[in-house]
């Protein structure tokens, strides 16, 4: 009988895990709410594969501990693989999978909701209403259909975001090194990022946090944007030079900003800081601003997405155990 051990299982993931387990009665699935570390790796001893989701790095030490426990098959319940020591993974012969497409709509919808909230200044209005100030002026909004929205990255998520924006009647332009044939045929691509920066009233990011994209949004790129630009980032924190963004907000070059990810989010996001000293002055400053929306890496967090992340990753584990290569295996 195949045996899978899952790490970091949250309460909201347990229904999907139990449903998969019931649909695969020949497989034993046990789990813990603890994350995978060199110390917890021993919990997987006697199992055939592990299933994981965490912001902690999969270091050489962690992978070595799994290897010593007899594990060389690991399925991630998420997209990102940039926190894996692939040199160590190769050395220890690991087979790894991720879940590259679980619900593009979840992330695309979040980005467009936050974009529309910025344009309609809902954070300011909510604060006024909470104080029983029910006057309209001067909190006037803008219409989505009047904006040129620049989409950087036209993969699964970016394409859903484009359709949502077009549904509002907005003009959409896009940039991607790897062009989508349908979008290209529609004439929506610009040739360079500089063109997108110069034309877009709103810029939204849907690209991976690979080294080539590090600090894609920086002082130089912001200088090329329209005055009063709106920026939305639901992709990866390292796409933004946050100091440059703060400077842009201070100068008014950036009118509004929404972020769901942060370069230094590990150890900060997904923790209750109420009643404690908040450890990051930059995020505290951004949260305090009327024209900034901060969410703690929650764009993915919907019931459908969680179900897909759990079920697809467990099925990939089982495929590895059965000597198969799942379609979501990571090539490295």
CA–CA distances in Å: residue 73 to residues 98, 167, 258: 12, 43, 37
Marked catalytic residue, from 109, 265, 307, 308: 265
With vertex at residue 185, the alpha carbon angle to CA 181 and CA 188, rounded to the nearest 5 degrees, is 100
Question: Can 215 be counted among the known catalytic residues?
Answer: no
With vertex at residue 16, the alpha carbon angle to CA 13 and CA 21, rounded to the nearest 5 degrees, is 120
Marked catalytic residue, from 110, 121, 142, 236: 236
Question: Can 236 be counted among the known catalytic residues?
Answer: yes
User: What is the sign of the dihedral through the CA atoms of 189, 193, 199 and 202?
Assistant: positive
Checking DSSP bridges between strand 229-233 and strand 254-259, what pairing results, if any? parallel
Marked catalytic residue, from 297, 307, 308, 324: 297
What whole-number distance in Å separates Cα of residue 309 and Cα of residue 319? 15
- CA 158 to chain CA centroid, Å, is 12
Question: Can 297 be counted among the known catalytic residues?
Answer: yes
Sheet with 49-52, strands from edge to edge, namely 27-31, 2-6, 49-52, 73-76, 95-97
Taking the CB of residue 323, how many other CB atoms lie within 10 A of it? 6
Catalytic residues: 236, 265, 297
């Amino acid at each position: 009988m195949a045996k899978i051990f899952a790490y970091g299982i949250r309460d909201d993931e347990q229904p999907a895990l139990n449903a998969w387990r019931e649909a695969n009665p020949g497989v034993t699935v046990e789990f813990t709410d603890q994350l995978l570390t060199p110390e917890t790796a021993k919990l997987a001893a006697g199992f055939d594969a592990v299933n994981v989701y965490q912001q902690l790095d999969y270091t050489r030490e962690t992978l070595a501990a799994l290897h010593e426990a007899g594990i060389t098959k690991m399925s991630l319940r998420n997209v990102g693989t940039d926190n894996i020591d692939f040199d160590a993974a190769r050395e220890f012969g690991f087979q790894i999978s991720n879940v590259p497409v679980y619900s593009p709509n979840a992330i695309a919808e979040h980005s467009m909701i936050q974009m529309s909230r910025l344009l309609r200044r809902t954070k300011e209005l909510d604060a006024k209403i909470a104080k029983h100030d029910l006057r309209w002026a001067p909190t006037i909004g803008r219409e989505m259909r009047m904006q040129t929205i620049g989409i950087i990255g036209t993969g699964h998520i970016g394409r859903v975001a484009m359709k949502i924006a077009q549904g509002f009647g907005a003009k959409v332009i896009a940039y991607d090194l790897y062009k989508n044939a349908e979008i290209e045929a529609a004439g929506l691509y610009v040739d360079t990022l500089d063109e997108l920066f110069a034309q877009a009233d709103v810029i939204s990011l849907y690209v991976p946090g690979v080294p080539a994209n590090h600090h894609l949004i920086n002082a130089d790129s912001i200088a090329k944007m329209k005055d009063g630009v709106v920026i939305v980032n639901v992709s990866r924190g390292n796409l933004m030079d946050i100091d440059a963004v703060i400077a842009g907000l201070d100068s008014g070059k950036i009118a509004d900003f929404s972020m769901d990810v942060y370069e230094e989010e590990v150890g900060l996001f997904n923790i209750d800081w109420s009643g404690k000293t908040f450890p990051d002055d930059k995020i505290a400053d951004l949260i305090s601003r009327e024209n900034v929306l901060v969410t703690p890496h929650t764009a993915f967090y919907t019931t459908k997405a969680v179900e897909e992340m759990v079920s697809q990753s467990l099925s990939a584990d089982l495929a590895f155990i059965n000597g198969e290569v799942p379609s979501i295996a990571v090539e490295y």
